[in-house]
Structure 1
Amino acid sequence: MGVVLVTCALIFLNDKVLCAQRSSTMNLPGLWEFPGGKIEKGESPEECLVREIKEELAITIKVLGALKPNDHAYSKGIVIRLLPYVCIWQCGEVKLLEHQQIKWVEKGNLNSLNWAPADIPIVNDLSENWNIIQKQLVDYTTES
């Protein structure tokens, strides 16, 4: 069984996380996800995320650290290993180059979105660890 490594960015700004709705031209149209993409040969997960977010949203991010990955089988013989990373928005204006829309979502509203199946465990992990992540973000921005 093949495993495809896919990164996703949990991009934080002002105590909210960026969530993206898949467009009609993408697989799983209309479902919500954390943006990211497949790791290319010779690319680290962090490099992949920076590239993918630039390609999908036209913004620059800083990758701070990883959360627990999730394996999900969308079709027979292929497993997606979703590698989530906590990130912060550095610069640029969001442009919807692939997604239908984005929302900046607070912790309490995460479960109101119709998530892609592979992202649901990431959402649950994020909800459980939200306060710890927020403290780390405050500590990071204070140090910078």
Structure 2
Amino acid sequence: MKIIPVTCAIIHFEDKILAVQRSKTMKLPLKWEFPGGKIEARESEIDCIKREIFEELNIHIEINERLTPVIHEYPNFKIELIPFTAEYLEGELKLREHSDFVIVNKKELIILDWAEADLPILKEYLLL
């Protein structure tokens, strides 16, 4: 099974963090995740995450650091999820694909119903 490279961002809005909820029509409906998307041909990880965040959320971010990637196999596909921590820079947050979002304290993230691939990333982030 081919591995799909996907980036995601843990975006800080000062001392709070953004999480987004997948829509009912997406794969893994209504699961929470860190926003991001597939890396396109000849695109760097950094370029991908900045592009995806702008396309999905209408905001600009500054990348801080790359965390440990996770390879996760779902029943019909396998992804390598490449996480980054980032800071919100500017823009009015508008959901273009997701059904909802929250901006919460770090400790509040654990109460959300996360997509499985995001769980190891959440655990690593909570230890930072």
Give me the whole-angstrom Cα distance separating, in 1, the residues matched to 2:83 and 2:117. Answer: 11
Give me the whole-angstrom Cα distance separating, in 2, the residues matched to 1:88 and 1:111. Answer: 20
Aligned match of 1:132: none
Query: Which string of whole-angstrom CA distances, capped at 9 and with x for unpartnered residues, describes residues 73-119 of structure 1?
Result: 0135x420000001111100000111111101212111100000000
Aligned match of 2:27: 27
TM-score, with structure 2 as normaliser: 0.96
* Structure 1: gaps (5+ residues): 130-144
Aligned match of 1:15: 15
Aligned match of 2:92: 93
Give me the whole-angstrom Cα distance separating, in 2, the residues matched to 1:34 and 1:20. Answer: 6
Give me the whole-angstrom Cα distance separating, in 1, the residues matched to 2:29 and 2:78. Answer: 19
1:125 maps to 2:97 = no
Q: SS of 2:72's equivalent?
A: strand
Q: Displacement, 1:43?
A: 0.2
Give me the whole-angstrom Cα distance separating, in 1, the residues matched to 2:48 and 2:75. Answer: 23
TM-score, with structure 1 as normaliser: 0.86
Give me the whole-angstrom Cα distance separating, in 2, the residues matched to 1:108 and 1:62. Answer: 23
Give me the whole-angstrom Cα distance separating, in 1, the residues matched to 2:82 and 2:16. Answer: 20
Aligned match of 2:50: 50
Aligned match of 1:107: 106
Q: CA RMSD in A?
A: 1.0
Which one-letter code corresponds to 1:81 in the other structure? Answer: E
Which one-letter code corresponds to 1:43 in the other structure? Answer: E
> Which of the pair has the greater relative contact order for Cα pairs under 8 Å at 6+ separation?
2
* Structure 2: gaps (5+ residues): none
Which one-letter code corresponds to 1:111 in the other structure? Answer: I
Identity of aligned residues (%): 46
Q: Which has the larger radius of gyration?
A: 1
> How many residues are aligned here?
128
* More helix by percentage: 1
Q: Displacement, 1:65?
A: 1.4
Which one-letter code corresponds to 1:55 in the other structure? Answer: E
